[in-house]
Structure 1
Amino acid sequence: MKVVQVLGPGCAKCKEAARVAEAAADEAAAKFGVEARVEKVTDMQKIMELGVFSTPAVAVDGQVKAVGRVPSQKDIVGWLED
């Protein structure tokens, strides 16, 4: 199972990133049979440990994929497919 982490303190853009990530996880499951869960990380220490200093950010299996923006659902589905 893949883990999509949405990193941020809970701001509006962080919530949007979480919504997009949930939709992408559902789409990846339907299209490719990829199981993924979305985890919201709000602890700034953990966020900084991943090298992220601008939120929102999205990581897949601990690898940061987007920083300082809300990625598209298509982007996240592609990351899950890899």
Structure 2
Amino acid sequence: MTQIKVLGPGCPKCKTTYSNVLEALKLTNIEANVEKIEDIEEMMKYNILTTPVLMIDDQIKVKGRIAQVSEIVAFLK
């Protein structure tokens, strides 16, 4: 099963990215484990400096900006 992580401290951009992930999953009918990581220490393990970050199967796909629904759909296909 696909693993999706949204890393960010809970700012509006992070929340929008998370919502976009859920929307993309609805559009594609793909089942995935979606995890929202807001803990700073946990985020540091991934060696990222800018948020939000979208990770799919442990690969960083987007960082420092909101991932658009259409982009996420393309990543999932």
Same fold (TM over 0.5): yes
Local SS of the residue matching 1:75: helix
Q: Distance in 1 between matches of 2:20 and 2:3?
A: 14
Percent identity, aligned pairs only?
36
Q: 1:15 aligns to what?
A: 15
Structure showing the higher helix proportion among its residues: 1
Give the TM-score, by structure 1 length: 0.85
Give the TM-score, by structure 2 length: 0.90
Equivalent residues, number = 77
In the alignment, structure 2 segments of 5+ residues that lack a partner are none
1:70 is aligned to 2:60: no
Match of 2:50 among 47, 50, 54: 54
In the alignment, structure 1 segments of 5+ residues that lack a partner are none
Q: Distance in 2 between matches of 1:21 and 1:71?
A: 8
Q: Distance in 2 between matches of 1:42 and 1:48?
A: 11
Q: Distance in 2 between matches of 1:37 and 1:26?
A: 13
RMSD: 1.1
